Structure 1
Amino acid sequence: MDLTLGPEETAVRDAIRGVLAERLPLASVRAVAGAEPGIDEALWREAGGLGWFGLGLPEAVGGAGYGAAEEMLLFIELGRALTPGPWLATVLAAHALAATPGLVEAHRAVLAGTLRIALVDDPADALADGARLTGVARGVPDAGAAGGYLVLGGGTIRYLPAATHGLALERGPSIDPTRRLGDVRFDGVAGAPLAGDAAALRTLATLLAAGEAVGVAERALEDSVEYAKVRQQFGRPIGSFQAVKHRCADMAVRAEVARSLTTFAAVALAEGETATPRLVAAAKALATDAALANAADNVQNHGGMGFTWEADAHLYLKRAWLLEHVLGTRAAHLDALAVPWRAE
């Protein structure tokens, strides 16, 4: 199993990174987050034109013909750039709608970047009420910017347009200003299950969330190193002090280990390895841990200004905390990994 990036994967990564660097520097991220609807619609359409939403789909259904490894690279770059918007759910919807003849137009709109989808994660099928959905899904990321919802249950996948009768949205506060939250209320909403494999889609979703966390961990490291080179104390760059050196070294180890395991999980998924679900769970736990620890250390490396709104360090920490609760916390994934060794 080769975990190194080949020329084609490198070209994909560099192309995505270049577009995001040009279109969405952190100053623009702040501006987008402070305006309605909280996303860069021009970037969204450009991403559709570049094939980002169908990166892992076969060309026969409108995709780019790549796989899970390239989709992982996309989400690493989205994490590095703190890109606002429901990217995860929209990419998942591109997969889920591809095999549904009655939703061809919705699938085309998703691939084109003109239809955004928010993810309602319901692993215990708590919303299921027979053939209908009833209840409240709380803290749905980017629910207010979505034109539809993908309800990912324990064994079923449902797609619902935002205008569906019986659906209501209540916007709420979010720790991450670049990713808004909302509560989605289902009042006996009818939604036929799609034909896809819910477990497989959940595995892919968890992998991509891990990839986004890797991006946060890597960029927090780079932000610290850049600052340590220019911030001076006692007439020397703070990066020359042993305490800062050691902290940055720890950050580098965390980021590299998280990237390695997440890449391993992506290749295993692409090659159909039986251990893929366990590898993905481990990657999500480790990548989220790396993102949280690196983002917190980045705040510390920036000193007093790291706690201010004007510094960007807090944005990485807030995104990391939000990712902790996307598709299972670290504790949930570690519990799942421990099941084979748990005493009866």
Structure 2
Amino acid sequence: MNLAPSPDQTEIAASTAGFLAKELPISRVRELAADPRSAVIDEETWSRCADLGWLALSLPEEQGGVGLGLPEEVMLFRELGRGLAPGPFRSSVLGARVAALAGETSLAEEIASGNRRVGMDLGGVAIDARPGDLLLRVEENGGTLSVVVDAEPTPGVDPCTRFSRVTTTGTVVQIEGPALMDRARVLAAAELLGIIEAICDMSAAYAQTRTQFGKAIGSFQAVKHRCADMAIASYATVGQVFQAALLVEAGAPDAAFHASSAYVLAVNGARTSAADNIQNHGGIGYTWEHDAHLYLKRAFLLERLLGPQRNSYRAILAPERHEF
């Protein structure tokens, strides 16, 4: 199995990174997040992202999609995580797939074109949901879409994500089977991988320029070991995420095991790396003005995005035997 990205997949990542750096740098994300009652991504930018095909990469062409697959979506979400991109990307991508699998082609096209956003139900609270939007609920054995009637803002851990308590209508679309949860875990793992890589670069750069006692702090054992641990977390996660993407896309019998393994590995790596990144930056790393805390908070959100972690561990422990 070749886990190396193809030139086309690499181009997806490069174009995504370039767009985010120009149109949605973290300074702009902070501006959008400053008003807690507004959307964290404006309509014009959201439409441009949809026009680039970000919401439709894996949808079949006959349903308004690009006709690619989960590995290409992984390349996209890796960059979205690295750039702390705001907005309901993951829920809209998954929501379009729910609609497509249910045979609701017009709804899938509406979501993929950016004309209909999809928020996500976390159980008692929703993220990135507005009145009139759809709301996605991902479960271990399927998923549903409903319509948001009312959304009352509520505080949340991630300032770049909108949290609310919502009222919805009945189920509009429903599908069954574990494939949706597997896909959701892989996409969340890809975002977390991007976070690990971003904060590894951030810590390494700071360790080379910040001096203490006449030496760069990267020469001190405690600091360089933390940076090395971040790099190892990145290297360990990237292979598992890419393998899981290929197996989930192929509908392999052990897809759930690999998707859950990628998610757990990415969650643990991002949580530890984000905390170590703040430690490496010392006093400045704890300030609101520094970006380190934004990565930590996004990692906390993604850790709780798909329900209790014990569910992922159950999927890992479920098979009696694995074939490699």
TM-score w.r.t. structure 1 length?
0.87
CA-to-partner distance for each residue in 1:193-247, whole Å, 9 max, x for gaps?
A: 43x4442112111111111111111111111111112212222221222221111
Residue 340 of structure 1 deviates from its aligned partner by 4.8
CA-to-partner distance for each residue in 1:70-125, whole Å, 9 max, x for gaps?
A: 11111111111111111111001111122455561x3333112222101225xxxx
Structure 2 partner of 1:129: none
Aligned letter for 2:304?
H
- Corresponding residue to 1:183 among 156, 165, 173: 165
In structure 2, C-alpha distance between the alignment counterparts of 1:145 and 1:299, rounded to whole Å: 37
How many residues were matched structurally?
A: 318
In structure 2, C-alpha distance between the alignment counterparts of 1:146 and 1:252, rounded to whole Å: 43
Structure 2 partner of 1:130: none
Is residue 2:66 matched to residue 1:64? yes
Q: Give yes or no for contact 1:55–1:70 (8 Å, CA) kept in 2.
A: yes
Structure 2 partner of 1:88: 90
Is 32-41 or 201-210 further displaced after alignment? 32-41
Structure 2 partner of 1:113: 114
In structure 2, C-alpha distance between the alignment counterparts of 1:115 and 1:174, rounded to whole Å: 24
Residue 144 of structure 1 deviates from its aligned partner by 3.6
- Corresponding residue to 2:48 among 46, 54, 77: 46
Is residue 2:187 matched to residue 1:208? yes
Residue 158 of structure 1 deviates from its aligned partner by 2.9
Structure 2 partner of 1:150: 136
In structure 1, C-alpha distance between the alignment counterparts of 2:310 and 2:101, rounded to whole Å: 34
Q: Give yes or no for contact 2:199–2:274 (8 Å, CA) kept in 1.
A: yes
Is residue 2:124 matched to residue 1:138? yes
Q: Give yes or no for contact 2:99–2:173 (8 Å, CA) kept in 1.
A: no
In structure 1, C-alpha distance between the alignment counterparts of 2:104 and 2:223, rounded to whole Å: 57
Q: Give yes or no for contact 2:148–2:166 (8 Å, CA) kept in 1.
A: no
SS of residue paired to 1:75: helix
CA-to-partner distance for each residue in 1:301-329, whole Å, 9 max, x for gaps?
A: 10111011111100100111111101134
Is residue 2:255 matched to residue 1:276? yes
SS of residue paired to 2:115: coil
In structure 2, C-alpha distance between the alignment counterparts of 1:68 and 1:282, rounded to whole Å: 16
Residue 65 of structure 1 deviates from its aligned partner by 1.5
Structure 1, unaligned runs of 5 or more:
122-136
Structure 2 partner of 1:26: 26
CA-to-partner distance for each residue in 1:180-204, whole Å, 9 max, x for gaps?
A: 2122235xx432543x444211211
SS of residue paired to 1:161: strand
TM-score w.r.t. structure 2 length?
0.92
In structure 2, C-alpha distance between the alignment counterparts of 1:312 and 1:237, rounded to whole Å: 21
Structure 1 partner of 2:99: 97
Q: CA RMSD in A?
A: 2.0
Aligned letter for 1:5?
P
How many percent of aligned residue pairs carry the same amino acid? 38
Structure 1 partner of 2:266: 287
Aligned letter for 1:120?
D
In structure 2, C-alpha distance between the alignment counterparts of 1:329 and 1:218, rounded to whole Å: 25
- Corresponding residue to 2:216 among 228, 231, 237: 237
In structure 2, C-alpha distance between the alignment counterparts of 1:247 and 1:53, rounded to whole Å: 36
